[in-house]
């Protein structure tokens, strides 16, 4: 396939690698950024007029449930990666809680075949910590790494057995693999459905305490310190977790963390009215947690923003609240939500945003993405920063529609998504 | 004011005016229930479906009598004979009932939010007859109606709610209704049965029964549901009676004309002694009578909330 | 808004006097006579007639108050929730001579509802209908026994009866609602 030359003209270039924030041109040739700055006189097959637009690295979303293999009714790699393009995402880390779970080189092979055939963007592979994610027996972590897994996680549940988790950390350390921690002590969260507190009381629903999250964060941070393993705390939702992570970072423990757009946009009051699209795990927390998440992003304690894109069929959502599935989709809205909630009010600069959505997660996963320097792979998103749009159920490209941002007005529209030097999506 | 709500799902979202309006309408229906012919044609030709996913003879019968006194047709569906067990969702069941041209669906369900979910998906009027631990609005309305009838007012009254607050939809609805109408509410229970953050509604909390009784104009004693104690967190029944059971002896320290309410069915010898349940302060049977008037009012009001054109009268 | 006065305060009082005499003419004995007023203006009018009888005969006639809301045939069509008022009939209606009283007779539907409601209270011997104003446009086969004044109206017009007790003065006016809209 002959790669075309693309010229992105006159945009505001945001490159977190080197804190570059200037108006200029970017020339793309053979899938790479070949020139940055003034490209006057360069010829191109495609010219993108980017005056007044933001040009930044395409997003690297390190927490995405693509559901394939196993639940192709909810999402497939094809549909999920199409949705990703619309949202400005060109790399995703696919969570391994599929059916079968990605717990062996064979299952990685199976997944890789589907990715090769159907993915529209780069789908990165993550293995499980334990076989079938049962928390009983370790997966062959070294074999997973050899077969191409960039990380391991039992996301959806935590490994309760401390000894087993210690072994997993030791194994991961040995082969240099990242461990992504879903932090939840099921003994404490039980069959709760919403944040424990006045909201759970008002709704008459069982609560999920913050303790069930941050105590597990503390345990895993302690284990990381002890074993030297590199860990990443998934979907941080509460103030106490951030405090633990901040202390760990001060102690130079190899820990990074992510949060999801709903945690810096919504608080538990959004659940009043029993909208199951407001049900996710961890649950939406209190107002002070929401503020702490924003502050954690601002200070860089939380490294990354990831969608925790969790598609569910309407039959799993249009049921009684306590029986409804946890999780929301997010690939198509995350960038706009982050712009609306973080950049617009001045909590994050564009550079900080670019770090959180691309540069940092790329670094955590050890991939050469999230940059716009000359020679970098052309993974680029062009954003119209002032363009407003409303999230509509019908408009989603994802197979599932369980968004917590339905009918929300957002600012910032992705107008071009470039992957491997080609325009893969444009408005 | 005009009644605009298609459904009655909770008391939390009702305004003071709406609460007053229901109570005033209920008073008119109470007069009807005192007539020789206790029936009016207000809902003639309407179909009311009692959709009960939990067994509750009292509430179901009360709604049934109320609907019949409004001349509506009543269909009772109990969970065990519906298609619930075959895996039909609540929304599907609701839509099927609606397809039978039901006008009003009265729903009792063990899941909090079940009535709200039905209301969102159906055109029929939905009345919450108790959803999980969330709310039981008509029970609280009849409690408040009875209290106001007895004491002439709600504003400024001191009302203590005693028992398992955490798992009680009756408590929640009473808290919202009473506080909105200006009562001073105290909750009294073993602290493990007080739900988190409840003070934000403006209530006081205590685990000292004598304190809860000392200044109260009225007490509402909740049913202890020991069968719900999954976590083994409840005290034993005899233990509970010793600490929180209402006895004549304990009432001696309270106001002489304290009003004693209970939503029923009573566990005699657990929440209160038989002497108290049948005593002069008890209004438990009046609550049952008033329940019909209150439910007639609610059925009547929600049925009016569908829009239509104005007809000539006079 | 143009409100045309049809009956002045003095004329209202005269009409009530005449209506009272007419009731008495039918049966001087006053035996088994009861008055029932339909909420709200019908009740005012009933009380006036009760007082007039008292003055003439020095007898207190039983007076009942009827709210017909629950018996209306347009409940689901009106779209606004009606204000339910008190119904209070504290005497036995069986074998009584009832004079049913309302301010304005129009479609007849209110009277139909009132008749149904009364029947649920008992089995009176007779029911006679007394109205201050009959404005025509009947939709049901109902006719009054005693009429204060017949007033031909158009459907665009509305008739308003005011009483001292509820409105500060006695007066009947006619208002053209179409003009109102302009």
Angle (CA) A105 A106 A107, round 5°: 90
pTM for this structure?
0.89
pLDDT at B86: 57
Confidence of residue C73 (pLDDT cuts 50, 70, 90): confident
Same domain, B146 and B273: yes
Report chain A (427 residues): mean pLDDT per 10 consecutive residues. 81 96 96 90 89 98 97 98 98 98 97 98 98 97 97 96 97 97 96 97 98 98 97 98 98 98 98 97 98 98 98 95 96 98 98 98 97 96 98 98 98 97 95
Strand partners of residue A55: A13, A382
Closest CB to B112 among A196, A198, A205: A205
HSE-up (13 A, CA, CB side) for residue A12: 12
HSE-up (13 A, CA, CB side) for residue A316: 16
Helix B90-99 and helix B114-121: axis angle, to 10°? 50
In this structure, what DSSP letter does residue B112 have?
Answer: T
Cis peptide before B265 (omega within 30 of 0): yes
CB contact under 8 Å between B41 and C69, yes or no, is no
Same domain, A337 and A389: no
In a domain, B8, yes or no: no
Question: Residue A79 in contact with residue A399, Cβ under 8 Å?
Answer: yes
State whether the Cα torsion B180-B184-B188-B191 is positive or negative.
Answer: positive
* Alpha-carbon span A47 to C146, nearest angstrom: 92
To the query of whether residue A308 is one of the catalytic residues in this protein, the response is yes
**For residue A346, what is the domain's CATH number?**
3.20.20.140
Maximum CA extent, chain A:
67
**Domain C3-181, classified CATH 3.40.50.2020, yes or no:** yes
Same domain, B44 and B142: no
In a domain, A372, yes or no: no
Give the DSSP H or E segment for A351. Answer: helix A350-354
Segment B129-143, tens digit of pLDDT: 999 999 999 999 999
Q: Cα torsion at C91, C94, C99, C100 (round to 10°)?
A: 80
**Coil, strand, or helix at residue C122?**
coil
Range of the domain at A115: 59-365
Question: Residue B148 in contact with residue B218, Cβ under 8 Å?
Answer: no
Question: Residue B123 in contact with residue B98, Cβ under 8 Å?
Answer: yes
Residue range C65-80: mean pLDDT, rounded: 74
Annotated catalytic residue, options A191, A308, A318, A386? A308
Confidence of residue C165 (pLDDT cuts 50, 70, 90): confident
In a domain, A420, yes or no: yes
**For residue B170, what is the domain's CATH number?**
3.40.50.1370
Same domain, A32 and A114: no
The reply to whether B310 touches chain C by the CB within 8 Å rule is yes
Same domain, A287 and A382: no
Confidence of residue B83 (pLDDT cuts 50, 70, 90): very low
* Alpha-carbon span B284 to A259, nearest angstrom: 53
CB contact under 8 Å between B91 and A274, yes or no, is no
Question: Residue A385 in contact with residue A84, Cβ under 8 Å?
Answer: no
Query: Which chain B residue lies closest to A324 (C-alpha atoms)?
Result: B111
Residue length of chain A: 427
Question: Residue B259 in contact with residue B284, Cβ under 8 Å?
Answer: no
* Alpha-carbon span B312 to C78, nearest angstrom: 9
CB contact under 8 Å between B134 and A197, yes or no, is no
Segment B4-51, tens digit of pLDDT: 899 999 999 999 999 999 999 999 999 888 888 888 999 999 999 999
Segment B226-256, tens digit of pLDDT: 776 666 767 788 889 999 999 999 999 999 9
Q: Is B172 exposed, middle or buried (0-12, 13-18, 19+ CB in 10 A)?
A: buried
Same domain, B154 and B105: no
| Residue carrying the six token digits 């502050």 | A295
Same domain, B245 and B199: yes
Same domain, A302 and A392: no
Same domain, A287 and A416: no
Same domain, A14 and A117: no
Confidence of residue B309 (pLDDT cuts 50, 70, 90): very low
In a domain, B313, yes or no: no
Closest to A155 measured CA to CA, from A124, A128, A132: A128
Same domain, A154 and A113: yes
* Alpha-carbon span B70 to B73, nearest angstrom: 9
Same domain, B99 and B153: no
In a domain, B310, yes or no: no
B69 pLDDT exceeds 80?
yes
CB contact under 8 Å between B113 and A274, yes or no, is yes
Confidence of residue B312 (pLDDT cuts 50, 70, 90): very low
In a domain, B35, yes or no: yes
Segment B189-231, tens digit of pLDDT: 999 999 999 999 999 999 999 999 999 999 999 998 877 666 6
Cβ-proximal residues to B93 (8 Å cutoff; 6+ apart), any chain: B51, B82, B83, B84
Same domain, A48 and A20: yes
* Alpha-carbon span B23 to B137, nearest angstrom: 12
B269 pLDDT exceeds 60?
yes
Same domain, B109 and B52: yes
Range of the domain at B202: 137-288
* Alpha-carbon span B201 to B194, nearest angstrom: 13
Question: Which of A65-69, B180-184, B275-279, C118-122 has the lowest average pLDDT?
Answer: C118-122
Closest to B59 measured CA to CA, from B130, B119, B10: B130
Same domain, B144 and B68: no
Domain count along chain B: 2
Tokens of A164: 């087993």
* Alpha-carbon span C159 to C133, nearest angstrom: 8
Question: Residue B156 in contact with residue B137, Cβ under 8 Å?
Answer: no
Query: Which chain C residue lies closest to B306 (C-alpha atoms)?
Result: C79
Same domain, A162 and A111: yes
Confidence of residue B85 (pLDDT cuts 50, 70, 90): low
pLDDT at A121: 98
Same domain, B153 and B268: yes
C76 pLDDT exceeds 60?
no
DSSP A22-55: EEEEEEEETTEEEEEE--TT---SEEEE-TT-EE
Question: Residue B123 in contact with residue B99, Cβ under 8 Å?
Answer: no
Same domain, A385 and A296: no
Same domain, B153 and B275: yes
Alpha helices in A24-161 (DSSP H): 77-86, 105-118, 141-146
Minimal CA separation from A206 to chain B, in Å: 9
State whether the Cα torsion B102-B105-B106-B108 is positive or negative.
Answer: positive
In a domain, A405, yes or no: no
Same domain, B132 and B231: no
Helix/strand/coil percentages in chain B, nearest 5: 45, 15, 40
Q: Which of residues 17-46 of B touch C (CB under 8 A)?
A: 24-25, 28, 31-32, 35-37, 39-43, 46
Strand partners of residue A130: A138
CB contact under 8 Å between C85 and B28, yes or no, is yes
Tell me which chain A residues have a C-beta less than 8 angstroms from the C-beta of B90. 319-320
Same domain, A117 and A174: yes
The reply to whether B152 touches chain C by the CB within 8 Å rule is no
In a domain, B5, yes or no: no
Domain count along chain A: 2
Same domain, A29 and A146: no
What chains are in contact with A, requiring at least 3 Cβ pairs below 8 Å?
Answer: B
Tokens of C136: 């025509």
């Amino acid at each position: 396939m002959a790669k075309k030359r693309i010229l992105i003209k006159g945009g505001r270039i945001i490159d977190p690698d080197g804190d570059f924030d200037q108006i200029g041109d970017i020339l793309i040739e053979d899938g790479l950024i070949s020139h940055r700055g003034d490209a006057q006189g360069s010829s191109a097959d495609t010219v993108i007029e980017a005056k007044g637009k933001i040009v930044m690295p395409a997003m690297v979303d390190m927490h995405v449930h693509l559901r394939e293999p196993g639940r192709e009714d909810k999402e497939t790699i094809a549909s999920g990666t199409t949705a990703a393009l619309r949202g400005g995402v060109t790399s995703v880390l696919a969570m391994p809680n599929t059916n079968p779970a990605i717990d062996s080189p064979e299952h990685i092979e199976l997944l890789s075949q589907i990715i090769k055939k159907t993915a529209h963007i780069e789908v990165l592979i993550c293995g499980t910590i334990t076989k079938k994610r049962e928390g009983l027996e370790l997966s062959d972590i070294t074999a997973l790494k050899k077969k191409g897994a960039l990380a391991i996680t039992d996301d959806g549940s935590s490994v309760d057995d401390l000894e087993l988790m210690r072994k997993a950390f030791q194994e991961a350390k040995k082969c240099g693999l990242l461990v992504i921690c879903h932090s939840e002590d099921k003994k404490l969260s039980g069959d709760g459905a919403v944040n424990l507190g006045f909201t759970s009381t008002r709704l008459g629903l069982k609560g999920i305490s913050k303790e069930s999250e941050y105590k597990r964060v503390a345990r895993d941070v302690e284990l990381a310190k002890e074993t030297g393993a590199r860990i990443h705390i998934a979907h941080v939702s509460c103030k106490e977790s951030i405090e633990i992570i901040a202390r760990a970072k001060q102690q130079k423990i190899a820990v990074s963390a992510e949060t999801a757009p709903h945690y810096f946009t919504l608080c538990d009051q959004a659940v009043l009215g029993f909208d199951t699209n407001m049900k996710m795990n961890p649950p939406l927390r209190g107002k002070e947690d929401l503020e702490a998440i924003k502050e954690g992003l601002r200070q860089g304690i939380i490294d990354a923003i990831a969608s925790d894109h969790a598609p569910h069929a309407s039959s799993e959502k249009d049921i009684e609240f306590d029986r409804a599935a946890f999780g929301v989709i997010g690939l198509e809205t995350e960038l706009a939500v982050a712009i609306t909630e973080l950049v617009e009010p001045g909590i994050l600069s564009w550079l900080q945003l670019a770090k959180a959505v691309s540069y940092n997660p790329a670094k955590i996963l050890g991939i050469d993405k999230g940059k716009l320097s000359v020679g970098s792979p052309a993974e680029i998103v062009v954003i119209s920063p002032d363009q407003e749009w409303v999230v509509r159920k019908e408009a989603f490209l994802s197979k599932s529609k369980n968004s917590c941002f339905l009918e929300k007005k957002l600012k910032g529209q992705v107008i071009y998504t470039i992957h491997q030097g080609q325009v893969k999506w444009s408005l | 004011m005009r009644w605009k709500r298609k459904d009655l799902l909770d008391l939390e979202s009702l305004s003071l005016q709406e609460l007053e309006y229901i109570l005033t309408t209920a008073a008119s229906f109470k007069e009807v229930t005192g007539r020789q012919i206790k029936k009016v044609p207000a809902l003639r030709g309407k179909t009311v479906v009692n959709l009960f996913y939990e067994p509750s003879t009292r509430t179901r019968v009360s709604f049934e009598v109320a609907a019949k006194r409004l001349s509506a047709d009543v269909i009772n569906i109990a969970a065990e004979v519906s298609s619930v067990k075959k895996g039909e969702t609540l929304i599907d069941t609701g839509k099927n009932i609606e397809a039978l041209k039901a006008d009003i669906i009265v729903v009792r369900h063990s899941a909090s939010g079940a009535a709200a979910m039905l209301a969102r998906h159906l055109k029929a009027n939905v009345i919450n007859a108790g959803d999980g631990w969330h709310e039981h609005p008509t029970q609280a309305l009849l409690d408040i109606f009875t209290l106001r009838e007895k004491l002439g007012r709600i504003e400024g009254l001191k009302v203590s709610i005693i028992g398992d607050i955490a798992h009680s939809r009756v408590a929640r609805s009473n808290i919202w209704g009473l506080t909105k109408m200006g009562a001073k509410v105290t909750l009294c229970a073993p602290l493990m049965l007080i739900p988190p953050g409840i003070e934000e509604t403006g209530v006081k909390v205590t685990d000292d029964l004598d304190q809860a009784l000392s200044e109260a104009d009225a007490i509402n004693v909740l049913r202890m549901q020991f069968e719900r104690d999954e976590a083994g967190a409840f005290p034993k029944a005899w233990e509970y009676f010793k600490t929180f059971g209402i006895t004549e002896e304990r009432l001696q320290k309270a106001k002489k004309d304290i009003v004693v309410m209970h939503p029923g069915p009573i566990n005699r010898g657990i929440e209160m002694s038989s002497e108290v349940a049948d005593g002069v302060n008890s209004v438990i049977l009046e609550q049952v009578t008033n329940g019909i008037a209150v439910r007639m009012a609610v059925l009547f009001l929600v049925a009016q909330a569908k829009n239509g054109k104005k007809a000539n009268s006079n | 808004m143009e409100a045309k006065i049809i009956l002045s305060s003095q004329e209202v009082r005269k009409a009530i006097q005449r209506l009272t005499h007419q009731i008495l003419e039918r049966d001087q004995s006053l035996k088994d006579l009861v008055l029932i007023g339909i909420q709200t203006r019908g009740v005012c009018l009933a009380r006036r007639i009760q007082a007039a009888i008292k003055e003439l005969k020095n007898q207190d006639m039983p007076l009942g108050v009827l709210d017909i809301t629950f018996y209306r045939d347009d409940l689901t069509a009106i779209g606004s929730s009606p204000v339910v008022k008190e119904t209070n009939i504290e005497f036995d209606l069986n074998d009584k001579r009832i004079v049913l009283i309302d301010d304005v007779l129009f479609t007849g539907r209110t009277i139909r509802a009132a008749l149904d409601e009364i029947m649920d209270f008992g089995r009176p011997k007779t029911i006679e209908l007394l109205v201050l104003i009959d404005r025509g446009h009947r939709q049901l086969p109902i006719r009054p026994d005693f009429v204060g004044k017949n007033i031909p109206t158009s459907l665009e017009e509305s008739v308003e009866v005011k009483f001292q007790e509820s409105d500060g003065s006695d007066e009947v006016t006619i208002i053209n609602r179409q003009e109102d809209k302009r």
